Structure 1
């Protein structure tokens, strides 16, 4: 299919002048987005002097490069410019055939060249002659498939082309090699990354197609995130209403098939399928999941694919590619899908358990719940984690900002509908909260009172511009806060329900924590997935900490289900009505003290049919020796070597380990060499396998 947008008109026949309009005219009417690129092209057509006449339009498959080239072609036609467009898949990859295809598109020429003139000479002569009187554009689509011709194109064709002619090279990858290394080519080349359409673009396109209900546009946005091909497939499904070739679930498989054409061989395809099961991956983690070593060459070919992105913790597949490939795999090979998911779950569960009491595992907890959480939790986690926000402790200096945030929340409260896609099933989930319900999260929240506890209970969530976008109030449980928690209307019923012995366990010095009470986790915009994910991350810091964690969230099904989904248990016969004065509100507890962490993990994995190994199941007898508590000791590793090993399992590079442990990278390499020798392994993949299995 040429282009990335399918055009439809709902509910009426097209008659009159509109029926006589050309396909190009109709395409133009439905075009949305790409304003900056089209404005730049308009400036070229208007004759504005430009130093860069080779434009590299690059972006992942289906993002909209072909659609943009078509838009450029229509712009050129309106201003009587010459626009030649070739798709590399539609001619043989030879210089002669390339030139012959261009000659076929050129306007008829009065002067005739020599019959023996080579195609290259002929096309250069005619193009350069045209450029004296008109603006000329040569566009080449799917440039990534110009295997073996890139050098010829640059040295034989472009070098002799009139420098005023604009050349558009559109493909999945940015130009590299000589395009970057040569100053002459670099100064003539403009790199233009083609990204997804914005939410506004998607809603605008939906309206143009006749999908005028707000919910329809929002559903398209949630499912496609502005990816051009996904949008066209989803709109086709919506408009044809089952009468066309795609059903509501089938378009994701169609999308996966389109992307997988880029995957050259079976080995690479298997790696893509395994990577689709992970929100982020590195070479060692992927090797653990597929249960075999992965060569540097194979991993390099994987990360070179256009739908793979480098992130802070390694790499990740394009969100839609990950979801569509996962759906495709689940339908085509459910056994393999289940096996890969089990390997991912065991990986994160093993790290959480092995790191118990030694280091923060908030990130691993979040990853684990991407598999074992309920549908709403998975949909909530189904977004890219961006380093857009910082958490700042509440203090006397920023108390005013916190109070202003609460006032803004009250002033701007409105009915909100939250939508998300479950990455495991592809189902679109929707939840609506009324204006009154939106204020429950900050009900009874007294920042000045919490600040006076001196326990750093409140954190402000700030954007990069310094604006407060949310907050959390998570109160430590110790000798300094027990009386407050006992008297507080939200936490008091639970504390008062404890026996004297249970309460005594919580009576630890003020410098320690026996656990925490979640009073509130709130964000300014509940439809913002990144904000919700950042807010939720505050819970992960405490969930598997080996402490008591309790909450009494607003009495709404959303909060009730989400706490059960996170593994909390409702406390029998402990209620209050403090949110609205009439609705009984339960208290939820998550206790991971001692061996209860094993019970928690076993219960959570059991939800999806995965059993922990016998030695890991809660209640299994262990000796009290340090070796049984820390399995790394059985290999005779030193404390520093164990720290390095845990960082490797987490996926850290040598440089990241060095920064974390405050040692040199050379020291890290020495520790790793010693670890390999003691554990009798050859590389990181074998090390991870030995530890986790």
Structure 2
């Protein structure tokens, strides 16, 4: 990666320097003329060769990542034969496509190859204009004696002769802007072009249509997705730019997640220290403006703004938030944008786009921003209240707290690019891995500082923990003792490579664990404070749970936001499960505030001093048994000004069940139908009802047939219309 600084200044006569009085035109290196290229570096005039050498050398020094693509291009330059003579570089705006083309240009220069680069926004709107631009780059004028008057014939003649002597590359940047010329390019320009000429088409979207459907074109195209840079690339880029502090590199990774333009803007802001055109948060607006160029009309922009408040969305969810129907065509336009990607639960805006769009909305239309947030929160609260299986809606609990949690919680949940981790129960077989993890935590403990951005206020929150405080979360954690309980209390969090990256110790409350919990120094004070009748309620059979006690949720690398969010997500499976949930976390402000933010009640009279032997540590309790769940949700929603009656969810579900009875659904069909109404995917329905995915689809087909509908959207509309009568 690199920082671009291009000064385009009119050429003028300098004392002692002979300049040709001819028209200038812009190129990659600055202003060039038919003779010398003159640029200013410091207070000196330098010629084209000098300027290109110094700029290209520095650009190459600052380039990070892209080794695979550069190696592939190097093989082409070295003469390796290829049947793929059209390379399609695609990726979201600002990810680094133009930077990669620049790197290819420098490689081509070293091999004395011809590299012709055109920006599709600037090369004209007709095929003739594009050909003239190519001819202009090839030489000052048409080749004498070529006998070709038409630009297309002339450029074919020149290029097809040139490739006999050296490598030739034609690169078209921002290819999405060439919609009117795409057919001409494919059917007229490329058909008669020598196949040894490499054509690079760089744009936001992958080539589709005829490029895919025609076997002849498909076998000639190589699709190359331009991905974000890795964490190591980002840290390396920061160091190369002179920002050697480890904290800044980590912060750069957290804020940009390897998005090229974001990295350049953030580093520029830091280096200019307020003397330049950007301030600390201003670069995100520059980014949003770049992406919003894809959005052609106001209606679509409103959908983008609403979608930016959701970590994932689908058509029904978005319709609820904007309070109007969304056509399939409009939703299709939204999901086709380059900064929107498909995920398991629907679609998601690029994380940086979400952050920058929210930031703009907060400042531009604060009331509308607040209203949309309320609609989002009410949607997820309704999903939770309508569910019989509370633990199956952990995802909705997590989404809800993106809107009603305190600033620290929102900042953590605002983390982009969630990684895939696997949770594995602790057993005799993997006990050694768990013990090794704890030893590694003790050996590698160090003080840390991490930051997060609150999406509601835009505030940058900083948290610092000492080495000693970093070990609090595993204090008194005895894995062998917990394994002997036989209650599957401990889960190991593993990365895709199988290494343990964290763990959770959440102990069920029942007949088999009550005595242990009463004697444990961390949970005992609360259990002993209960009245006999209250304690008796907790003595359910060992196969059941009256609730849970959180002993520990710990991760290996606390500066990794994705891992931190994954660890915290363990709590959401229990919070709205209609049971008793209590914890006694380390006596630190972050834990105290975050538990209050999650709706726990602090019991200051129930405490211990087990973490450091001197600091009183309170117990936090969250009770959602019976009607307390509605009261809990209502209280949490009141934080953002939403009033929700405690009985609303129950009556709504009863109405839905009454509607479904009219269609003579079987009991299993009714269960599947209610899951669909709650917004569950087919996979989630299968897990909840303990049936196969095929069986879910079979029941859905039967439900749709009985209601005479064709899809989920029509089914929801049919149920809602019957409810309203």
Question: Which deviates more, 171-180 or 212-221?
Answer: 212-221
Cα offset, 1:484, TM superposition: 0.7
Q: Report what 1:632 is aligned to.
A: 656
Write the mapping of 1:444-593 to structure 2, written as runs, cut at 5 A. 444-593=476-625
Please identify, of 132-141 and 634-643, the stretch whose mean Cα deviation from structure 2 is larger. 634-643
Give the conservation status (yes or no) of the 8 Å contact 2:707–2:715. no
Indicate the larger mover: 61-70 or 658-667: 658-667
Q: What SS does the corresponding residue of 1:322 show, helix, strand or coil?
A: helix
- Structure 1 residues 95-106: aligned runs within 5 Å: 95-106=127-138
2:285 maps to which residue?
253
Q: What SS does the corresponding residue of 1:191 show, helix, strand or coil?
A: strand
Please state how far the C-alpha of 1:174 moved relative to its aligned partner.
0.9
Q: Which residue does the alignment assign to 2:4? A: 6
Give the drift of 1:35.
1.9
Q: 1:647 aligns with which of 671, 675, 697?
A: 675
Q: State the 1:65 CA deviation.
A: 0.8
Query: Is contact 1:676–1:687 with CA below 8 Å preserved after alignment?
Result: no
Find the partner of 1:301 among 330, 333, 336. Answer: 333
Higher relative contact order (CA 8 A, sep 6+): 1
Contact 2:505 2:553 in 1 (8 A): yes
Change (3 A) 1:486 1:631: farther
Cα distance in 1 for residues equivalent to 2:675 and 2:697: 13
3-state SS of paired residue (2:512): coil
Q: 1:223 to 1:131 in 2, by over 3 A?
A: same
Q: 1:382 aligns with which of 414, 436, 440?
A: 414
User: Per-residue deviation at 1:71?
Assistant: 1.8
CA distance in 2, matches of 1:518, 1:575: 15
| Shift of residue 640, structure 1, vs aligned partner | 3.7
Contact 2:672 2:696 (C-alpha < 8 Å) held by counterparts: no
Following superposition, the deviation at residue 28 of structure 1 comes to 2.9
Shift of 1:499: 1.3
Instruction: Give the conservation status (yes or no) of the 8 Å contact 1:263–1:269.
Output: yes
- In the superposition, the TM-score normalised over structure 2's length comes to 0.88
Q: Is the 8 A contact 1:57 1:171 kept in 2?
A: yes
User: Per the alignment, do residues 168 and 507 of structure 1 end up closer, same or farther by CA in structure 2, a change over 3 Å counting?
Assistant: same
Relative to structure 2, which stretch is displaced further, 520-529 or 484-493?
Answer: 520-529
Q: 1:114 to 1:16 in 2, by over 3 A?
A: closer
Aligned counterpart, 1:336 = 368
Normalising by the residue count of structure 1, what TM-score does the alignment of the two structures yield?
0.91
2: CA distance between counterparts of 1:653 and 1:450? 35
Shift in alpha-carbon separation, 1:464–1:688, aligned structure 2, 3 A: farther
Which of 315, 320, 324 pairs up with 1:288?
Answer: 320
Q: For residues 37 and 314 of structure 1, what CA distance do their matches in structure 2 show?
A: 31
Maintained 8 Å contact 2:682/2:696: no
Would you say the 8 A contact 1:410–1:439 is kept in 2?
Answer: yes
1:389 is displaced (CA, Å) by: 1.9
User: What are the residue-to-residue correspondences of 1:91-170 with 2, within 5 Å?
Assistant: 91-107=123-139, 111-113=143-145, 117-170=149-202
Query: 2 CA distance for matches of 1:628 and 1:255?
Result: 43
| Cα displacement string for residues 608-639 of structure 1 (whole angstroms, at most 9, x for unaligned residues) | 2222247549xxxxxxxx86874423435454
Asked if the contact 2:659/2:722 (under 8 Å) is kept, the reply is no
Cα displacement (A) at 1:235: 2.1
Could you report, residue by residue, the CA deviation over 1:253-277 in whole angstroms, capped at 9, with x for unpaired residues?
2211111110121221111111111
**Structure 1 residue 60, shift from structure 2 partner:** 0.1
- Supply the distance in 2 between the matched residues of 1:653 and 1:453 (Cα, whole angstroms): 35
DSSP 3-state at the match of 2:89: strand
Change (3 A) 1:217 1:465: closer
Q: Secondary structure at the match of 1:231?
A: helix
- RMSD over equivalenced CA pairs, Å: 2.8
Distance 1:397 1:260 in 2: 53
For each residue in 1:167-214, what CA deviation from the matched residue of structure 2 results, as whole angstroms up to 9, or x when unmatched? 100000111222222232222221111111222222222233332322
Give the secondary structure class of the aligned counterpart of 1:472. strand
For residues 643 and 719 of structure 2, what CA distance do their matches in structure 1 show? 23
Structure 1 residue 148: deviation in Å? 2.9
Q: Distance in 1 between matches of 2:552 and 2:696?
A: 41
**What is the alpha-carbon distance in structure 2 between the residues aligned to residue 551 and residue 133 of structure 1?**
75
After TM superposition, give the deviation of residue 657 of structure 1 in Å: 4.9
CA distance in 1, matches of 2:708, 2:400: 28
For 1:17 and 1:197, the matched residues in 2 are separated by: 36
Supply the distance in 2 between the matched residues of 1:333 and 1:175 (Cα, whole angstroms). Answer: 37
**Correspondence for 2:238:** 206
Cα separation, partners in 2 of 1:408 and 1:209, compared to 1, 3 Å: closer
Partner of 1:621: none
Worse-superposed segment, 316-325 or 293-302: 293-302
| Superimposed CA distance per residue, residues 10-37 of structure 1 (whole angstroms, 9 cap, x where no aligned partner) | xxx9689999744434333322222222
**1:7 deviation in Å?**
4.8
Task: Say which of 356, 361, 379 aligns to 1:347.
Answer: 379
Aligned residues of 1:284 and 1:688 also touching (Cα < 8 A): no
**Per-residue deviation, 1:577:** 0.9
| Contact 1:472 1:535 (8 Å CA) reproduced | yes
Question: 1:489 Cα shift?
Answer: 0.3
Task: Report the equivalent of 2:348.
Answer: 316
Contact 1:5 1:67 in 2 (8 A): no
Asked if the contact 2:314/2:346 (under 8 Å) is kept, the reply is yes
Q: Which moved more, 1:381-390 or 1:131-140?
A: 381-390
Between stretches 74-83 and 258-267, larger displacement belongs to 74-83
CA distance in 1, matches of 2:381, 2:130: 55
1:64 aligns to what?
96
- Structure 1 distance, partners of 2:436, 2:320, is 48
Residue 360 of structure 1 aligns to a residue whose secondary structure is helix
> Residues 260 and 308 (structure 1 numbering): CA distance in 2 closer, same or farther, change over 3 Å?
same
Q: CA offsets, 1:453-473, max 9 Å, x none? A: 111111122222322222111
Q: What is the alpha-carbon distance in structure 2 between the residues aligned to residue 685 and residue 250 of structure 1? A: 43
Q: Quote the residue 1:622 is aligned against.
A: none
Task: Name the residue aligned to 1:623.
Answer: none
- Give the conservation status (yes or no) of the 8 Å contact 2:634–2:646: no
Structure 2 distance, partners of 1:584, 1:7, is: 56
Of the structure 1 ranges 629-638 and 273-282, higher mean CA displacement relative to structure 2 is found in: 629-638
SS across alignment from 1:210: coil
Aligned to 1:611: 643
For residues 643-683 of structure 1, the C-alpha deviation after alignment (integer angstroms, 9 at most, x for no partner) is: 33443244345687578654252430331454689xxx945
1:229 is matched with which residue?
261
Task: State the partner residue of 1:620.
Answer: none
Q: By how many angstroms is 1:503 displaced?
A: 1.1
SS at match of 2:622: strand
